Amino acid sequence: MTRLADKVALITGAARGIGEGIARAFHREGARVVLTDIQDELGQAKATELGERASYMHLDVRLESDWERVISKVLELQARIDVLANNAGITGFEGASDPHDPEHVSIENWRSVHATNLDGVFLGCKHGIRAMRRTGVGSIINVGSRSGLVGIPGAAPYASSKAAVRNHTKSVALYCAEQGLRVRCNVIQPAAILTPMWETLLGSGPDRALRMAEYTKDTPLRRFGSVDEVAALAVYLAADESAYTTGPSLLASARSADRNVRTGSGVAAQLHKAVQPSRRQNRAHHRKTLPILPNSARNRDASPIAPSTSSAFRSSGRRRT
């Protein structure tokens, strides 16, 4: 397959999950891929596994100095960058179980999530555009989330950051067009995709099938999406066949964007439950900051199916859907 023959593609957050899937798909289609991540050992192993036409570089997407170094090195070695996939992101629950609802999230946690999910995309687009000016042609692919459309009360920073990615994509697309560049910018917004984060959440016990059904009950196909299905969208956006596509968001969730916005249920609601601290943590937090509420006013949104899963998010690393 040669839809991306000889194109130079840089992918962030490529050590695992959706980023790894995109890197593999690009490589299969003939691209020269540069995998980047902060998980250096894992990222290097994936590049080595891919073999010829694949390399790895350390890149912390929050740091402009890292972007400048990586872009400069890629241009030195490859002379151009044709495709940039801004995939790196975090949920905000890695290593902590602090509340992330709009009322109680700390400014530090808010800024931390946005630094990776939004600042990382901003910096990628900024330096990607500059690199693509060499040829005047290119494709920037941002990976957002359906959460940016429907919101998640228990993960407000994450949902906010993904909503901003969607809008910034449009700004970049319009800017490049106004500049006379044939650099297009699009965003993929996955819903429930089976990545390592979800695997940790679902587990392998007898309740796995029940959990999967609960998380996908509001999608017509009644199933999780696969990394390969998201990667296929990225290949389309990277290939010349999408040359007239810039600015829109492609929703990978087996349903229409309009219905997503209206309902905000299903996966988003279940993720809300998943990222809630335990009831004990909630009560302790409220006792410190608020008057004790009567039982009728307390949170009753605990899921009877999924346990408290902040630990799953904490161990999921720097990429989710």
Backbone dihedral region for residue 10 (phi beyond 0: left; psi -120 to 50: alpha; all else: beta)? beta
Most confident of 59-63, 190-194, 205-209: 59-63
- Which is higher by pLDDT, 5 or 290? 5
Both tokens of residue 293?
A: 């509420």
**Residue 210 — φ and ψ, nearest 5°?**
-65, -40
Mean pLDDT on 210-232? 87
Whether the pTM exceeds 0.85: the reply is no
Contact 22, 35 (CB under 8 A): no
Sketch out the chain's domains with CATH numbers. 8-314 (3.40.50.720)
**pLDDT of res. 273:** 53
Higher-pLDDT residue of 110, 215: 110
- 158, 175, 215, 236: the catalytic one is 158
CA distances to 109, 157, 272, 283 from 96, in Å: 10, 14, 16, 17
Candidate from 4-8, 77-81, 146-150 with smallest mean pLDDT: 146-150
pLDDT recorded at residue 41: 98
Going by pLDDT thresholds of 50, 70 and 90, the confidence category of residue 215 is confident
- Choose from 169-173, 192-196, 316-320 the range with maximum mean pLDDT: 169-173
Q: What pLDDT was estimated at residue 85?
A: 99
Q: What is the pLDDT of residue 91?
A: 87
Question: Each residue of 253-303: pLDDT tens digit?
Answer: 655 444 444 334 344 445 545 544 443 444 444 444 443 333 333 333 333
Mark whether 56 is an active-site residue: no
Q: What is the pLDDT of residues 105-160, one digit of tens each?
A: 999 999 999 999 999 999 999 999 999 999 999 999 999 998 899 888 999 999 99
Considering only residues 154 and 318, tell me which one the structure prediction assigns the higher pLDDT: 154
- Range from 115-124, 170-179, 213-222, 263-272 carrying the lowest mean pLDDT: 263-272
Query: Residue 222: which pLDDT band, with cuts at 50, 70 and 90?
Result: confident
Query: 30, 3 in Cβ contact below 8 A?
Result: yes
Residue 107's identity, in one-letter code, is I
Residue 313 has pLDDT above 80, yes or no: no
Check pLDDT > 50 for residue 315: no
According to DSSP, the residues that pair with 137 across neighbouring strands are: 182
Q: Which range among 6-10, 16-20, 85-89, 273-277 shows the weakest confidence by mean pLDDT?
A: 273-277
